[in-house]
């Protein structure tokens, strides 16, 4: 009788330990497939059912107003107040052009959002560190400006992870926002990286012109509360235009904020 009791006790312990081992392995497997590499908690998860296609290509439409919420992908900009508007910069850091922009932003007490190219961030770590220390928001723009919807998911995932790691190594803060180059990305990738995609509502196509006045006029005449402006800090003309845009819109009562203060509040 004592032998049988001892046998069942030992058997129960073995079964319990096997269950614990299985649970740990299963949990680690799930985590590795769903969280981003920096273990940053996703604050606003944006997911669409695109069963008919593995990729989505989103083109932002008109800006929001105080009376009507703008559909911004699956993020709605609502309850716009204080004439909030966001300046965002892609493709940097750009060396001296980005430094000049940071000087101008600091002088005007304006915070912006920078979506960085991984290989450029690796080249200019001091500028990335300065962005972070001066209170700007830093996001991911892939490692080599690749169009995420045109490559396999492993390549796309690597582009995002490498950039997150570089930014995290410099700032000790992992990005949770991503701006996919060309505004297109794989829906499967989005589920895997667990990051929030951020697009734009005003695009003056500053990459296609050196005409500062044209860039400024396009932005200023279309600017409204809750807008997200797309510019690039790798061009001298874009930096000059950005600072003029700030001066013009501040004079009209606009308040410049980072994108998280628009899409999450």
Is 74 among the catalytic positions? Answer: no
Which pLDDT value is given to residue 54? 39
Using one digit for the tens of pLDDT, what is the confidence trace for 45-88?
Answer: 232 333 333 333 333 322 222 323 333 343 334 456 679 999 99
Asked about 26 being catalytic, the answer comes back as: no
The mean pLDDT value for 170-194 works out to 93
169: pLDDT strictly greater than 90: yes
136, 141, 206, 232: which is the annotated catalytic residue? 232
Residues with Cβ < 8 Å from 206, sequence gap 6 or more?
Answer: 215, 231, 232, 235, 237, 238, 241
Are 166 and 118 in contact by the 8 Å Cβ rule? The answer is yes
Strand (E) positions, 84-176? 84-92, 113-116, 137-140
Mean pLDDT taken over the chain:
80
Query: pLDDT, tens digit, for every residue of 90-118?
Result: 999 999 999 999 999 999 999 999 999 99
Percent of the chain residues past pLDDT 90, beyond the cut: 64
Residue 174 has pLDDT above 70, yes or no: yes
Six-digit token pair at 229? 């402006």
Quote the CA–CA distance of 242 and 249 in Å, as a whole number: 11
At 21, the pLDDT band (50, 70, 90 cuts) reads low
Out of 90, 91, 233, 260, pick the active-site residue: 90
């Amino acid at each position: 009788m004592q032998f049988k009791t001892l046998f069942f006790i030992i058997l129960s312990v073995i079964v319990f330990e096997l269950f614990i081992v299985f649970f740990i392995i299963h949990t680690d497997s799930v985590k590795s497939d769903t969280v981003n590499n920096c273990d940053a908690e996703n604050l606003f998860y944006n997911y669409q059912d695109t069963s008919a296609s593995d990729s989505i290509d989103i083109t932002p439409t008109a800006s929001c107003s105080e009376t009507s919420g703008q559909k911004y992908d699956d993020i709605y900009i609502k309850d716009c107040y204080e004439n909030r508007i966001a300046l965002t910069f892609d493709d940097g850091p750009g060396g001296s052009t980005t430094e000049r922009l940071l000087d101008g932003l600091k002088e005007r007490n304006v915070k912006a959002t920078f979506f960085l190219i991984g290989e450029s961030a690796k080249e200019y770590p001091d500028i990335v560190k300065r962005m972070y220390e001066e209170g700007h928001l830093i996001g991911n723009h892939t490692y080599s400006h690749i169009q995420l919807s045109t490559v396999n998911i492993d390549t796309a995932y690597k582009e995002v992870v490498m950039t997150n790691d570089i930014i995290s190594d410099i700032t000790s803060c992992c990005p949770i926002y991503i701006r996919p180059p060309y505004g297109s990305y794989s829906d499967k990738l989005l589920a895997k990286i667990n990051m929030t995609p951020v697009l734009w509502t005003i695009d003056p196509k500053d990459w296609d012109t050196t005409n500062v006045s044209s860039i400024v006029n396009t932005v200023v005449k279309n600017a409204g509360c809750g807008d997200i402006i797309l510019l690039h800090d790798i061009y001298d003309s874009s930096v000059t235009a950005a600072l003029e845009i700030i001066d013009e819109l501040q004079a009209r009562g606009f308040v410049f904020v980072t994108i998280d203060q628009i899409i999450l509040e």
